[in-house]
Structure 1
């Protein structure tokens, strides 16, 4: 298992190195940075009730001109942020939906025209490579794991800081 996680982290590293994470961390400045970097607007929306009722907690929808991320609104703010980061992970990895248009979740978004949607991804499970990549990237962004590889903290406070995503001086 640790080897698989290490490989997953290595796949995330090039994307992390391209990010300018805001300090202190906040979703809004990160989204503004990504929008400017990708040269296309990035919009955040609460997930429509019908999509949440169908079991989705996050969606990334790409049109010809914009990116839209939908997140579950009936959860804690930290969970909402993680959902957004997970969808950003799909966006940065340039993941594609693996279902055909008949199985597409476009219908969960109400009156959105399927002709406008170039790409749509919805979380279903974490067993696919795409889901694991997006989840790992979201976790690494949220915990601030960019820049130099960090040494694992050895003391209790260092471990607590690492678990909470608080920056420490334990760098190589």
Structure 2
């Protein structure tokens, strides 16, 4: 399956329709994963260091930690990219196992997720960014629908 097919299947699997709100998306991901989802801004995380956001999984929660930015759209893209990894099932199961001796106090699932972050040109990173773009378009579509933007401006 190519990236476009993978992304289209993931969007359809959300069963949210063509447009939805950010909150509806968060609830959907949380329900699908049967885990609490928390999005947390870290003031000390600096995008100049090359890290905009990361997804950490604990025994009971998914945490999306993101850098501070003045741009709402930029922040949303940080978060949507990490949600896309969850939706696409990246690092589910044994995909992200790492030697426990390297980071013994961090769960294997989280260790793998953190250490694979460097390969931005990988198929998983490209698919996550493509899905994040589609999610953003659907969220923008819901904003326009709620504001009657299309009705007024065509």
TM-score, normalization: structure 2?
0.69
Q: Secondary structure at the match of 2:106?
A: coil
User: Which of these residues, 82, 98, 118, is aligned with residue 109 of structure 2?
Assistant: 118
**Alpha carbons 1:45, 1:68 under 8 Å: kept:** yes
User: Which of these residues, 139, 142, 155, is aligned with residue 136 of structure 2?
Assistant: 142
Number of aligned positions between the proteins: 138
Q: Aligned partners of 1:126 and 1:80: how far apart in 2? A: 18
> Cα RMSD (Å) of the superposition?
3.7
Following superposition, the deviation at residue 84 of structure 1 comes to: 0.7
* Structure 2 runs not aligned, ≥5 long: none
Could you report, residue by residue, the CA deviation over 1:13-69 in whole angstroms, capped at 9, with x for unpaired residues? 221111144886432231122112221100001135156563210101112211111
Bigger RCO of structures 1 and 2 (CA < 8 A, at least 6 apart): 2
Residue 128 (1) aligns with residue 122 (2): yes
Q: Aligned partners of 1:80 and 1:13: how far apart in 2? A: 23
Alignment of 1:22-171 (within 5 A): 25-47=20-42, 49-50=44-45, 52=47, 54-96=49-91, 100=98, 114-116=105-107, 118-119=109-110, 120-121=113-114, 123-124=117-118, 126-144=120-138
**Alpha carbons 1:22, 1:30 under 8 Å: kept:** no
Residue 17 (1) aligns with residue 8 (2): no
Following superposition, the deviation at residue 87 of structure 1 comes to: 0.4
**Alpha carbons 1:45, 1:71 under 8 Å: kept:** yes
* Structure 1 runs not aligned, ≥5 long: 1-5, 107-112, 146-160
**Alpha carbons 1:62, 1:118 under 8 Å: kept:** yes
Could you report, residue by residue, the CA deviation over 1:89-136 in whole angstroms, capped at 9, with x for unpaired residues? 11112223769569x8x8xxxxxx943462234754531111101000
